[in-house]
Structures are given as structure tokens and as C-alpha cells.
A and B are shown apart, each in its own frame.
Chain A
Amino acid sequence: MTGLLRTERLEAGYGTMQVLWGVDLNVSGNETVVLLGSNGAGKTTFMKCLMGLLPSRAGTVTFRGEEITGLTTRARVERGLSFMSELGIFPDLSVAENIDLGALFRPRADAKRRAAELFELFPVLKEKRRQAAGGLSGGQRKMLGIAKALAAEPKLLVMDEPSAGLSPLFVATVIRSLAECRAGGLSLLIAEQNVKFLELGDRVFTMEGGRVHFGGTPAEIQADDGLRRAYFGLGQDDHVRA
């Protein structure tokens, strides 16, 4: 696997409040990395920093061998980074327009071809392509968020809490869709607090207090009693069924 994304000693915050304290993290090509952390751990701030929505105070972000720390969000999107935020759709726009927005910086012909592919991947969205996105169910909105992010044909899809606001049934559907994307060769960086997403991960990082505390495989995190208690709420003799 080749290096795709690397952050080194990344620091960021809001006003006088420092949130990230030197985050080191990396994602390789064709790899899925899950960033596990509770509310307030700094996951969303880290994602914003990756996408250039929040300036970093120190440290570097390198993507496909190029340092992108000072680049605009658009420049990062054009280089193959795509972000799916928790509330990442446009409710007043139609489903088709939402997908178009994902491919905004690609030639029109590419965007059209990609939209047709995505409608094949998500047939429910094809049926509702002319409807306002705000009228979709929670699960369908999440599907649309994923489709919109995929429309850019990214090299790395960065996702902030894809399970937020979803019932367990829809979480399973989202995980299935992401597994298909992953099988297609897409790299994923998923910030989550739902441990179900560990089944997608090749590697897991844990974040607390704006610092990365653990980096390893899902099996390693489950083998560590302290981490298992912290993230799964389970004791030494319990087992996780993802």
C-alpha cells in the first residue's frame, strides 16, 4: 500500500481554545482507516483541518506526496479529497442537483457519466432524482451524502460520523454501501463513535482530548482491555460482535 494522506504534528483550534494537539495520522492507498473517539474528542475539528475549512496552527498535511496544508478547500477537492459531513446535503435542491454539486469541479461530461453510474449504485436515488433532497428519509439522505461525495471520483473519501442520526438498520445499509465503495478501490477515512464501523477498518486510530492515542488494527484494539472498556464498554471476558 502506498502513502495517500499523512498529517504530522497537526494543531488547530478556535480562538483561544486549542483543540488538536499534534495529531499524527496516515492513510494508505486502498485502505480504510477508522478514527474512533467520543463526542468532543476533536474528530470533526481534525476533519475540518484536513479539508482546509479550519486553518491549522502548526503541523503539515500531505496528500499524494504534495503538502496541501495551506491550500483552499476547492484545491483539495480538485486533488482528490472529498468530504462527507454529518449534514452534508442541500435540502432545497433536487437529488440530481445534489449529485451534480459533488462533481462541480469536473468537466460536465464526466459529471454526467458519474451521475449515471451513481444512480445505478443507488437506485432509490434515481427514482427520486427530481425530488427535493429535504424530502428524503434519514437513510436516503445519508445515501445521497455518500453519492454526492463519490461524484467527485475522489482518491480519499473523508467522512464525519456517517452513522449520526441513523437507526441500526440504516447504519448496516450505510456500512454495506461503504464496503462496496471500498471493494471498488476507494480509500476511506471515517471519523466515528459507533464501533460497528470497525468492521470496515484496516486500521483504527483512537482520539481523545485532541490527541491520537492508539493506532493499530481492529483486532489489536479489541485485544487491549483498556481500549475495549473505553470504546466498547466491555470487560476482559466479553467479546465484540461487530
Chain B
Amino acid sequence: MRKGFVRETALVLLPLVVVLAVMPWLYNNQLLLLNIVVFLVLAQGLNLTYGFSGYLPFGYVGFFGAGAYGFALTLMHTAAPPLLAVLVGGVAALLAGLVLAPLLRLQGAYFGLASLAAAEALRHVIANQDLSEITGGPYGVRLDVPFRPVLTYGLAIGILVLVMGLVAWLRQSRFGLRLRAARDNPVSAATAGIDVVHGRLVVWLASATAAGLIGAVYAWSAPTFFPEAVFDLSFSIFAIVFTLFGGAGTLVGPVIGVVVLYGAYNVIGVSAPKYFQLVYGLLIMALVLFFPAGLASLAVRRRRDG
């Protein structure tokens, strides 16, 4: 195992997991804690595809919704246990990722908009009145599933470990180096013998599966929901902003993004809601102007200069 992988895991992932594991004893807002882990997974999941292939899917929430509905429909129509239904949620998002894989032929804003349109299309299919018997349609779903806050929180942390472990591995492995080369200069990568399409597809599907799994856990923790709730564009926007704020392609960046911005969102949003949008907007503007590669780039700059 490479030293860099062990170092990053020990310095970032391990302390984060320890903090998340003890937080329920220090802070009793279980929903907020779960939401933090959900956004950590979404930010790291988006980091997989944006940080390592350069594709920014505005419609990332589509995978989250697919996971939530994959979980819900499994429980509604089969006798499968919830844990299996969570896996089905991941598979549903993986299949959605496969169906949408041709979008990877597009570039930049075209890809972003096409993924957004695909997420909206999926939401409309699920919310279709004619499919009410199967999906619950516009009336949403009400699941009869046992409320297990400790299990769902632990499951969410487990998914986070898997996704962050994958990010840490990609940062140190030759496969990850190939991906970063293809993101940086696809033509040169192809001339070096790198299979650009294969690499992009792998991280795209991994990213989709991560969102699907956490979408399923989210659905388990809030078993009554409407299509609008799990296909809410805010999930995509938050995941993108958190990732860019902290630094895409790094392990610590999305964590910083979630801790600082989601923390600010909850602190300022509650204590001074009048100023929340203003403060949030100023923070993001300052970041884009002074640290376009994210806060984590500060450490990289210092290391490279030093």
C-alpha cells in the first residue's frame, strides 16, 4: 500500500470518522448529523467525477433520487429487508449512470445542462400520475420501515468511508494518475496510450453509485417523501459548492467545504436568517476570486513552493 494513501487516510479520513462516530453523544440533533454525512458523501461522490474526470454534473441529484426511489420501491413491492433495499438503491443509481453514460461525449456546460435535464426527466417519470400505482406518483411514498437512527447513521458513515477510501486511492494510484492526466489533457493522454473513455466511465459510475446508496439511506431515515424532496436541485448545488469551495480532486477539500459552508448554513441560517444569503454569497465570491482551486489549494501551493 502506498505511503500517501496511508498518510491521507490517517490524517483526514480516520479523524473525521472518529469525530462523526462520537458526535451523537455530544450533540443530539440526529437529523442534522445525518444530513452532514449525507452531504459529505454527496460532495465526495461529486468529487469522484469532477475531481478526476472534469465532468460537473448539475443533475447529480438524479442519482440521489434514483437511490431513494430504488430503496422505496423495493420495500413497497417486495419483502426485501431494508439493508438489501439500500443496496438496490445503489444499483438503481448505477443503472441510471449507465443509461446516462453517453452524456460523457458532451463537454463543459453542455454536459452539465444535459445531466440536469436527465435528472428532471427522471423526476417527472417518477412523479407521473399514471405511474402512481408503482411509484406513488406525485403523492410520494410512505414507507412502513422501522426507524433505526443509529443504524442509518452508521450506514451513512460506512458509505462515506468507502467513497473517501476510493478518493484517497485514486489520488495515489496509477489509475488515478491516468484519470487526472485525461482530465488535464485528453489528447495527450490518448497519445500516451491511456483509455480516456474507460476511466471517465468508471468514476462516473462510482460517483452515481455513491449518491444512490446515500439517497437510499436518506430515504430510510425519512420514510415519507415526495419526488420533489429527493430530486431537489439544492442537493446538486450544495454538493457542487461544497466540493469547489474546499477543492476538487483532493480528499480534504470536500470535507472542508461541508464543515465550513454547511456549518455556516446552519449557524447563520438560524441565528441571522436575514443576512444568511448575503454572507453565503460573499464567502463564495471571495473563494472564486482568491482561491479558484479551493481552500485545499493553499496547502498544495505551500508544499510546492516550499
Residues of A near any B CB (own CB < 8 A): 51, 53, 72-78, 83, 85, 87-94, 97, 100-102, 104-105, 108, 130-132, 148
Provide the bound-state CA to CA distance between A108 and B193, in Å. 17
Pairs of residues from A and B, 7 with the lowest C-beta to C-beta distance, nearest first: A74-B193, A77-B193, A90-B184, A92-B184, A73-B193, A83-B191, A90-B181
B123 within 8 A of A: no
CB B16 to nearest CB in A, in angstroms, measures 26
A74-B187 contact in complex given A97-B177, A130-B303, A130-B304, C-beta closer than 8 Å? no
Within 8 A of A (CB), among B51-73: none
Residues 163-183 of B, flagged 1 when their CB comes within 8 A of A and 0 if not, give 000000000001001101101
Are A74 and B195 touching (Cβ within 8 A)? yes
Are A101 and B192 touching (Cβ within 8 A)? yes
Residues of B near any A CB (own CB < 8 A): 174, 177-178, 180-181, 183-185, 187-195, 303-304
On chain A, the residues within 8 Å of B185 by CB distance are 87, 89-91
25 cross-chain CB contacts under 8 A:
A72-B195, A73-B193, A74-B193, A77-B192, A83-B191, A83-B192, A85-B188, A87-B185, A88-B191, A89-B188, A90-B185, A90-B188, A91-B185, A92-B183, A93-B177, A93-B184, A97-B180, A97-B181, A101-B177, A101-B178, A104-B174, A104-B177, A131-B304, A132-B304, A148-B192
Provide the bound-state CA to CA distance between A53 and B185, in Å. 15
Provide the bound-state CA to CA distance between A94 and B178, in Å. 13
Provide the bound-state CA to CA distance between A73 and B186, in Å. 14
Provide the bound-state CA to CA distance between A77 and B180, in Å. 19
Counting residue pairs across A and B whose Cβ atoms lie within 8 Å, the total is 69
- Main DSSP-derived SS at the B contact region: helix
On chain B, the residues within 8 Å of A87 by CB distance are 185, 187-188
CB A138 to nearest CB in B, in angstroms, measures 16
Question: Nearest A residue to B249 by beta-carbon distance?
Answer: A92
CB B60 to nearest CB in A, in angstroms, measures 23
On chain A, the residues within 8 Å of B180 by CB distance are 90, 92-93, 97
Are A104 and B304 touching (Cβ within 8 A)? no
